[in-house]
Amino acid sequence: MTGKLFFPLVGLLAAATLSAQPASGGYPIDPVPFTSVKVAPDSFWGQRLKASREVTIPLAFSKCESEGRYENFVKAEKQMHSPVNLGYEVKGFSFDDTDVYKTIEGASYVLQTYPDKKLEAYIDSVLTIVAAAQEPDGYLYTARTMNPEHPHEWAGDKRWVNDEELSHELYNLGHMVEGAVAHWQATGKRNFLDIAIRYADCVVREVGARPGQARVIPGHQIAEMALAKLYLATGEKKYLDEAKFFLDERGKTGHNDPYNQSHVPVLEQDEAVGHAVRAAYMYAGMADVAALTGDQGYIDAIDRIWENIVSKKLYITGGIGATNNGEAFGENYQLPNMSAYCETCAAIGNVYVNYRMFLLHGDAKYYDVLERTLYNGLISGVSLEGNGFFYPNPLESIGQHQRQAWFGCACCPSNICRFIPSVPGYVYAVKDNALYVNLFMPNTMTQKVAGKDVTLTQKTGYPYGGDIEITVDKTALKKEMALKVRIPGWVRGEAVPSDLYTFADDVKTGYKVTVNGVPVESALEQGYFTITRKWKKGDQVVVHFDMEPRVVKAHAEVKADEGRIAVQKGPVVYCAEWPDNPGFSVRGTIVNQKPTFRVRHSDDLYGLDKIVTPAQTFSYGADGRVAVRDVELTLIPYYAWCHRGRGEMTVWLPQTVQATTVPTGR
């Protein structure tokens, strides 16, 4: 963060501070915020947080400078104070402002764990520019303000008129609010939050069902979930009401298009359709409204949609979105591999949905889906070094895919920039005297349970090892606390919480739990192992998950996976890639009907585990005949593919001759 913008602007804004704690009394289960969890640096997620802090976020900020994102705010401010039109040409996309908001959001999460005065001052300098571009009534959309007479071609001739199509004014609000709340929580400063509140108040005044208001819905959803978050942060119910208005009005404004889920009112929807990112953001907003209002119609609708996704439209990697035609969901069971879109933003949206479904219902099955997405189809979107990105995340390639340093439409890099640092906020949750342990990673957490501070430390080699130690470091709680440890579906023999994918081998996995060295038993409740006792300092829970490579098959209706298997170990899905298998085509192999596996730790690609299995490869000989030979097929975690150049890759491995491909060469 040493760009030219930093030095002139440092210190120009002295922000007011207050205790940055969200309003309570929202969800049936309370999130434990990212501010309460410190992830160990020498761990799976510690490495990713480091890459985000040292590489991805500085890269994103540098792109905001070099690609003119900051310049847009400067131009908007200059135009506002000019008596004549300055004639600025509005370039790029109508949502370019969000790259700034998303990058600040990611940097804010990082600041909580790694305080950095220089980074904090840089953010303040950027926010000075952002604040200066805000119109007097709170409206903030540089694509119009920098040239009101000739705004962005997607913007329309006045506010809001084109939001249901392409203006993205409300989408910009959504990302602004998401970033502002994170910044406030991390730093205690109100400078970004006040900007977002002013814009949100402008929207509440101008968009709605009252006479004189613009009766429109967001063309690209995210404002719904963001306004719910702003309600929780401020306690102002008008923001939740506006979020519900946006959802209630969908399908009723005359704009009826499955592409952005406005084909019918949301309470009548029962299938995931259209643009997968828009859909996931809307479903997250629906889950917010369901959880925060208790509206049974919303609860029923989001339950139906979730069931459709998980039973018919979810990839084994946790990705969603089958086709590049509209970046959209396909038909039921339409899950192609080579042409799978599985946009990184959609994977992030899938995490948002399942997280909120857990906060609503308290069932571990939602975290089973969240974890599958997190370890596979989401982190595949960014390289291990933090500087190479995927927009789509296909499950098969012949070498036409490669990671990019950035994209002109930068939604995926900037989204991964904000998401990875937020992961600590997904580990725990609280309800009354119960503390949920949902994800497994080395960390220390301090959180109030039943009004009293509890500090835990978690140690584990997860996701490659199945042993977790949870130690009570400190507790002020005098009464019993229920520690609820998620037992993942993959341990219990359930690939996903539906029949879309099933384990197809004879491997039996289980788990063991001890408290202070003594084995304990508990009937699972909604997928959780519950230990209720009066805890004291030094108490230790040790959880062991059997973690073996497993064979997964898809539902018979998924024609793309017919005659094929996938391999999974713990929560991690594996793939075969060309660098590990020299001399033959990974797409031209066939694995055994009863495959065996050998796990081999590797020091390359940041010390991941590889899996080796016997296979046979097919190729044409010089005489034109098909030649068959025995090989060892090496698999790596799917998230790590395409770090060593272009080439073949496949997740679904042929197990029948009909499913394989006989290549003519590499």
Sign of CA dihedral 286, 291, 295, 301: positive
Provide the β-strand partners of residue 239.
Answer: none
Question: What is the residue whose two structure tokens read 């599958």?
Answer: 372
- Asked if 611 and 549 count as a contact pair (C-beta separation under 8 A), the reply is yes
d(CA 350, CA 348): 5
Residue 214 DSSP code: B
Q: Which residue spans within 298-442 are E strands per DSSP?
A: 396-398, 428-431, 434-437
- Asked if 70 and 466 count as a contact pair (C-beta separation under 8 A), the reply is no
d(CA 430, CA 477): 14
Helix 57-66 with 411-419: angle, nearest 10 deg: 140
Other CB atoms within 10 A of residue 645 CB? 11
CA dihedral 431, 435, 440, 442 (to 10 degrees): 130
| Ramachandran category for residue 558: left, alpha or beta (phi over 0 → left; psi -120 to 50 → alpha) | beta
- Residue 568's nearest CA partner among 403, 435, 372 is 372
Beta strand pairing status for 434-437 and 481-486? parallel
Residue 81 DSSP code: T
Q: What one-letter code names the amino acid at 402?
A: Q
For the annotated catalytic residues, the residue numbers are: 327, 411
- Residue 73's nearest CA partner among 136, 140, 139 is 140
Q: Which helix (H) or strand (E) holds 371?
A: helix 364-372
Residue 399 DSSP code: S
Q: How far is CA 80 from the centre of its chain?
A: 37
Question: What is the residue whose two structure tokens read 């402008």?
Answer: 202
- Asked if 542 and 519 count as a contact pair (C-beta separation under 8 A), the reply is no
Q: Is 523 exposed, middle or buried (0-12, 13-18, 19+ CB in 10 A)?
A: exposed
| Ramachandran category for residue 353: left, alpha or beta (phi over 0 → left; psi -120 to 50 → alpha) | alpha
Provide the 3-class DSSP secondary structure of residue 385.
coil
Q: Which two tokens stand for residue 57?
A: 């976020």
Provide the 3-class DSSP secondary structure of residue 366.
helix
d(CA 607, CA 185): 34
